[in-house]
């Protein structure tokens, strides 16, 4: 492990690699936040005449952004062991995006390298590696840069003489005279009230030793928790030579605890020890060399932004921190930046850049933090980037919150930024919150946190963003970050690794920024225990919002009302509701009112916590996630279902958990009069019926060119989105024919809202729609609106057909035995089950004028008769001749020959080895093909089950021709 870390300065062997895209082997992994991956065939010339072909996975987006085309010639840079970790293109070097395997509550983290090996980090490996182990690390050496100065250099600050100050302090007044000018006189009588409207507390004013400007004015209400301690720290943090005035109102001192008195005494106060209640006191002095906070700034090629930032830091309250600031410059070529720093007299160090993209930023930050530890003898380090804008109370914010880092070990950082703070949603400048996350855009950590974390910092060949890295449990150890409701920084960079995309830059607009000074933060509320108590109190008074339609709801506008929105996630990556809330929050379609004091979002990750596993659906069904043995049994035999399974009560309907995401949308689906819905339990002849009905309605003369489209594109499968996620199947990528079809059919729609669902919505009239859902999960007025054809099949054939289906389709990926499958079927443990309830719910409606009930066996044996019945029901008015032609066109042999089920790109759904061995979707298409498949015992069991469930139902299944 050690060698990996220390060996990040690679002994480089350059070998030639030729990169081409794998023909047709598109293994996209989704188009979510992490983009799509492509596989690259890389031929690595490891030695003369010896080529090795390796397959690397690379992020397509990254390749495209770098302008790398499929036929580009790339070079692989291998280390001494021949491992390729970077690709070189022209003069540029970059790592191929690496996949990360993380187990949130496990201390081991693995990052996939380019060569498919893992860079694994475990805290235990770092027990003997300390910050001192890096003394010989050459990546931490600052580069000496000679810059050419044409104009004569301006004297640095240190050449300016400090002002001559005369200080007077006494029990009743204090005065300060700088260079013969009286800057402040505060007699402790009526004048005091003019200083501050707050009538209790200690008042501090600080004057800059060089500019003579008042740089800080703060009131400390020291009867409040932690404030006395902060007062002492503030005094200790004053720069050398600062001139400070401290005055107190008469009834304050009982709030000053013993340690504060000692600290004030150590700063030179004679009176602090003796102050008692009702004393008034004024003290003025000029010194202060005890340091608490230091600043490190990351800079590169934007000197104009750096200038703005450095000025803002220096002008911050507390006489500035220029002597406790260091700037880390990324790259010796940044001459303008370096000149600026020389002009300003700000200390800097120059980092030799390492890597590209995320690693480059991460490695620069590492260098900057190491540099800060080395050069700044402070206890807390504030990290800034050159493109930040600081609020006037930025330093005050950091100074006050620094107390929290000492007092509360469950915190590891303070962030100046808040990602949810928009001008309409952030108001309270005193309010702090805690987040389980990483800090950003101006943050502060303690020296010992850096000493603990820096040795584990990712090497250059690991393409992890530093903030995600800090967010990992490996680093965080369950500690949290303090964030403000009102941000103390704003991010106004125009270019940068993460701001090239206009969407990202837009995300920074409309953000709130504090414009206050003298902000008194509510520190006590954010201490772990009180924070949790306060949250519970908020929860108690929270008014739950009953959201019926997640796309159309509002928040109450009264001030002081706390609203609770319960966001239910149907699986661990279900972020649909969050996305919607975020859109609202930014001021989208359903925006929050101008100011919502608290928005509580309660998460019920239903698959994880058993006491929160029940959800109600619009259909009235209660949802329970499968757990324990029941889930284990399913997961063992069904490798396809990725996100678990749910049961609906009443009915015991079983579905993949993704069903919950769409259930209410199916229930509220707007069926229309012209729609015909084809309803079946799986494997009962749906596809056959689809072709028959679509042809009767759209292609009676068999001359419609649309007939060439796959049957499932012409008759959309409304709930297919529920079945798409599978561990065994790659996600469907945006360039998959299905997605192209979606974009053409539903332009501008978001696939996250359901590809098949929306294709069903957008389908042209007259719509013929397929479903395996029972009537009870669809709109109550369905039969009053549209025609429904229900096709039933005898269970013995259905079981055999379903078994075959479950093996050939990867989204099911059934690996159990046939015997176990039979048991799954009889126990109602197959999705869409129970078979009998499905059938009986429709059977009850068989006399409804808008429902036509049919049997597979009749369709097979008396095809024309059944087509005639359909002709009447659908009112298609076809001639006998037309029906005959359709009968032939939709026969098993014809449909099997066309095999036009899903169209291009269908291969990804199938286990082709099983298809080649046991046949494809069009298996037998017969009545009685179950014969010879069941053992006597199985058959007996099925017969008993049929007898029991059929009861006195007037159905006579035919089990053979
Ligand atoms: S699915 O996946 O649930 O929609 O399957 P589904 O279409 O309902 O059922 C597939 C079975 O129907 C058979 N089939 C046909 N039989 C007769 N004629 C035609 N034209 C026809 N088309 C499909 C298909 O072969 C499956 O049955 P088995 O018994 O497995 O052959």
Residue 609 has pLDDT above 50, yes or no: no
Q: Give percent of the chain above pLDDT 70.
A: 66
Quickly state the pLDDT bin for 738 (edges 50, 70, 90).
confident
Check: CB of residue 808 under 8 Å from CB of residue 910: yes
Pocket test for ligand 1, best of 679, 680, 686, 688 (most atoms within 8 A of CB): 688
Quickly state the pLDDT bin for 248 (edges 50, 70, 90).
low
Identify the H or E element spanning 717. Answer: strand 716-717
Beta bridge partners of 568: 604
Residue 764 has pLDDT above 80, yes or no: yes
Assess whether 585 carries a catalytic annotation: no
Q: Whose CA is nearest to atom 5 of ligand 1?
A: 683
Residue 210 has pLDDT above 70, yes or no: no
In the sheet that holds 716-717, the strands lie side by side as: 716-717, 768-771, 676-680, 787-792, 851-855
Give me the count of residues in the chain.
961
pLDDT top residue among 552 and 857: 857
Classify 147 as helix, strand or coil: coil
- Please tell me the predicted confidence (pLDDT) of residue 185: 39
- Please tell me the predicted confidence (pLDDT) of residue 81: 56
- Please tell me the predicted confidence (pLDDT) of residue 451: 94
Range name among 43-52, 385-394, 473-482 with the lowest pLDDT average: 43-52
| DSSP letter, residue 107 | S
Q: How many CB atoms lie within 10 A of CB 74?
A: 20
Check: CB of residue 346 under 8 Å from CB of residue 322: yes
Nearest-angstrom CA–CA distance, 416 and 395: 10
Q: Which of 9-23, 202-216, 472-486 has the highest mean pLDDT?
A: 472-486
- Please tell me the predicted confidence (pLDDT) of residue 590: 44
Distance between Cα 519 and ligand 1 center (Å)? 72
Q: Which of 164-178, 279-293, 939-953 has the highest mean pLDDT?
A: 939-953
Nearest-angstrom CA–CA distance, 410 and 413: 10
Residue 47 has pLDDT above 60, yes or no: no
Q: Whose CA is nearest to atom 9 of ligand 1?
A: 683
What rounded mean pLDDT belongs to the chain?
76
Q: Give the mean model confidence (pLDDT) for residues 590-603.
A: 50
- Please tell me the predicted confidence (pLDDT) of residue 178: 44
- Please tell me the predicted confidence (pLDDT) of residue 59: 63
- Please tell me the predicted confidence (pLDDT) of residue 63: 63
Pocket test for ligand 1, best of 678, 685, 716, 866 (most atoms within 8 A of CB): 685
Q: Which two tokens stand for residue 183?
A: 């800057």
What pTM was estimated for this model as a whole?
0.47
Residue 493 has pLDDT above 60, yes or no: no
Q: Give percent of the chain above pLDDT 90.
A: 36
Pocket test for ligand 1, best of 682, 683, 790, 893 (most atoms within 8 A of CB): 683
Nearest-angstrom CA–CA distance, 815 and 497: 45
Out of 571, 736, 772, 838, which one is annotated catalytic? 772
**Cα-trace Rg, the chain:** 36
Distance between Cα 756 and ligand 1 center (Å)? 21
Distance between Cα 685 and ligand 1 center (Å)? 4
Distance between Cα 719 and ligand 1 center (Å)? 19
Distance between Cα 866 and ligand 1 center (Å)? 17
Residue 443 has pLDDT above 90, yes or no: yes
Residues with CB under 6 A from ligand 1: 680, 682-688, 797, 801, 804-805, 890-892, 895, 922-925, 929
Range name among 28-37, 51-60, 213-222 with the lowest pLDDT average: 28-37
pLDDT top residue among 869 and 26: 869
Strands (DSSP E) found in 170-208: 174-178, 181-185, 202-207
- Please tell me the predicted confidence (pLDDT) of residue 44: 54
Residue 567 has pLDDT above 60, yes or no: yes
Nearest-angstrom CA–CA distance, 435 and 433: 7
Atom of ligand 1 nearest to the CA of 929: 29
- Please tell me the predicted confidence (pLDDT) of residue 298: 97
Q: Give the mean model confidence (pLDDT) for residues 460-465.
A: 78
Q: Which two tokens stand for residue 669?
A: 């689906």
Q: Give the mean model confidence (pLDDT) for residues 145-160.
A: 52
For residue range 367-388, what is the model confidence (pLDDT) as tens digits? 999 999 999 888 899 999 998 9
- Please tell me the predicted confidence (pLDDT) of residue 766: 94
Atom of ligand 1 nearest to the CA of 924: 31
Distance between Cα 231 and ligand 1 center (Å)? 79
> What are the CA-CA distances from residue 448 to residues 378, 390, 405, 527 (Å)?
11, 26, 11, 20
Q: Whose CA is nearest to atom 1 of ligand 1?
A: 683
Q: Please name which of 624, 625, 626, 620 lies closest in space to residue 664, comparing C-alpha atoms.
A: 620
Residue 224 has pLDDT above 90, yes or no: no
């Amino acid at each position: 492990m050690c060698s990996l870390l220390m060996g990040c300065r690679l002994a480089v062997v350059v070998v030639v690699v030729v990169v081409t895209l794998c023909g047709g082997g598109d293994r996209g992994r989704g188009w979510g936040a992490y983009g799509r991956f492509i596989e690259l065939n890389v031929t690595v010339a490891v030695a003369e005449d010896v080529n090795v072909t390796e397959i690397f996975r690379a992020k397509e987006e990254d390749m495209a952004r770098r302008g790398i085309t499929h036929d580009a010639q790339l070079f692989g840079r291998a280390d001494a062991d021949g491992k390729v970790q970077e690709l070189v293109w022209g003069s540029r070097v970059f790592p191929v995006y690496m996949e990360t395997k993380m187990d949130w509550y496990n201390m081991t983290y693995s990052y996939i390298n380019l060569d498919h090996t893992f860079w694994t980090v475990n805290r235990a490996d770092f027990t003997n590696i300390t910050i001192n182990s890096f003394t010989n690390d050459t990546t931490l050496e600052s580069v000496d840069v000679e810059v050419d100065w044409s104009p004569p250099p301006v004297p640095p600050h240190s050449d300016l003489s400090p002002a001559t100050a005369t200080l007077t302090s006494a029990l009743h007044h204090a005065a300060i005279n700088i260079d013969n000018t009286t800057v402040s006189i505060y007699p402790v009588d009526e004048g005091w009230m003019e200083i501050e409207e707050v009538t209790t507390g200690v008042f501090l004013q600080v004057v800059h030793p060089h500019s003579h400007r008042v740089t800080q004015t703060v009131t400390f209400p020291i009867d409040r928790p932690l404030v006395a301690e902060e007062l002492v720290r503030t005094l200790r943090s004053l720069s050398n030579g600062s001139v400070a005035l401290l005055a107190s109102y008469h009834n304050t001192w009982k709030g000053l605890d013993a340690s504060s008195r000692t600290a004030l005494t150590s700063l030179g106060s004679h009176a602090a020890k003796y102050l008692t209640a009702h004393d008034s006191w004024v003290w003025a002095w000029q010194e202060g060399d005890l340091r608490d906070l230091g600043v490190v700034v990351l800079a590169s090629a934007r000197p104009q932004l750096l200038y703005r930032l450095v000025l803002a830091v220096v002008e911050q309250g507390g006489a500035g921190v220029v002597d406790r600031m260091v700037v880390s410059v990324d790259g010796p070529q940044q001459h303008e930046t370096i000149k600026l720093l020389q002009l300003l007299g700000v200390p800097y160090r120059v980092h030799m850049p390492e890597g590209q993209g995320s690693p480059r930023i991460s490695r620069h930050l590492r260098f900057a933090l190491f540099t800060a530890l080395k050069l700044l003898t402070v206890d807390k380090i504030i990290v800034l980037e050159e493109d930040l804008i600081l609020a006037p109370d930025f330093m005050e914010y950091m100074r006050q919150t620094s107390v929290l880092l000492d007092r509360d070990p469950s915190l590891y950082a303070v962030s100046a930024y808040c990602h949810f703070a928009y001008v309409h949603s952030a108001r309270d400048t005193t309010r702090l919150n805690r987040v389980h996350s990483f800090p950003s855009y101006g943050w502060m950590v303690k020296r010992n946190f850096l000493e603990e974390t820096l040795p584990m910092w990712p090497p250059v060949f690991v393409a992890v963003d530093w903030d995600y890295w800090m967010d990992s449990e490996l680093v965080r150890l369950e500690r949290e970050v303090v964030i403000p409701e009102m941000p103390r920084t704003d991010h106004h960079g125009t270019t940068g690794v993460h701001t090239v995309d206009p969407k990202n830059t837009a995300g920074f607009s409309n953000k709130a920024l504090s414009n206050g000074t003298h902000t008194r933060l509510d520190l006590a509320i954010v201490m772990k225990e009180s924070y949790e108590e306060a949250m519970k109190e908020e929860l108690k008074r929270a008014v739950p919002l009953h959201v019926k339609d997640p796309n159309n709801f509002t928040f109450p506008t009264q001030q002081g009302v706390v609203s609770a929105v319960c966001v239910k996630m149907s699986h661990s990556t279900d972020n649909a509701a969050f996305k919607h809330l975020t859109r609202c929050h930014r001021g989208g379609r359903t925006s929050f009112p101008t100011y919502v004091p608290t928005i509580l979002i309660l998460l019920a990750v239903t698959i994880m916590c058993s006491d929160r596993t029940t959800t109600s659906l619009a259909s009235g069904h209660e949802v329970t996630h499968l757990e324990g043995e029941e889930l284990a049994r399913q997961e063992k035999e069904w490798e396809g279902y990725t996100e678990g399974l749910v049961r609906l009560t009443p009915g015991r309907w079983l579905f993949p958990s993704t069903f919950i995401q769409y259930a209410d949308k199916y229930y509220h689906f707007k069926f229309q009069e012209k729609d015909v819905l084809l309803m079946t339990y799986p494997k009962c002849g749906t596809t056959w019926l689809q072709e028959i009905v679509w042809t009767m309605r759209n292609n009676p003369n068999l001359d419609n060119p649309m007939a060439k489209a796959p049957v499932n594109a012409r008759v959309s499968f409304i709930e297919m989105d529920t079945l798409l996620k599978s561990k065994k199947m790659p996600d469907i990528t945006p360039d998959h024919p299905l997605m192209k079809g979606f974009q053409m059919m539903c332009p501008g729609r978001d696939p996250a809202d359901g590809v098949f669902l929306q294709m069903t919505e957008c389908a042209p009239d007259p719509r013929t729609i397929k479903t395996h859902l029972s009537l009870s999960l669809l709109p109550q007025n369905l039969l009053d609106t549209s025609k429904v054809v229900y096709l039933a099949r005898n269970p013995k054939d259905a079981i055999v057909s379903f078994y075959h289906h479950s093996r050939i389709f990867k989204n099911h990926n059934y690996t159990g035995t046939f015997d176990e499958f039979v048991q799954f079927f009889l126990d109602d443990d197959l999705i869409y089950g129970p078979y009998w309830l499905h059938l009986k719910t429709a059977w009850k409606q068989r006399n409804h004028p808008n429902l036509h009930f049919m049997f597979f066996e009749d369709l097979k044996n008396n095809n024309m008769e059944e087509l005639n019945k359909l002709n009447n029901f659908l009112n298609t008015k076809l001639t006998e001749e037309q029906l005959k032609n359709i009968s032939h066109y939709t026969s098993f042999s014809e449909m099997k020959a066309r095999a036009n089920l899903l169209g291009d790109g269908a291969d990804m759904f199938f286990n082709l080895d099983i298809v080649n061995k046991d046949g494809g979707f069009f298996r037998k298409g017969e009545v009685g093909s179950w014969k010879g498949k069941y053992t006597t015992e199985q058959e007996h069991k099925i017969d008993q089950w049929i007898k029991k469930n059929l009861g006195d139902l007037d159905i006579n299944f035919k089990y053979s021709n």
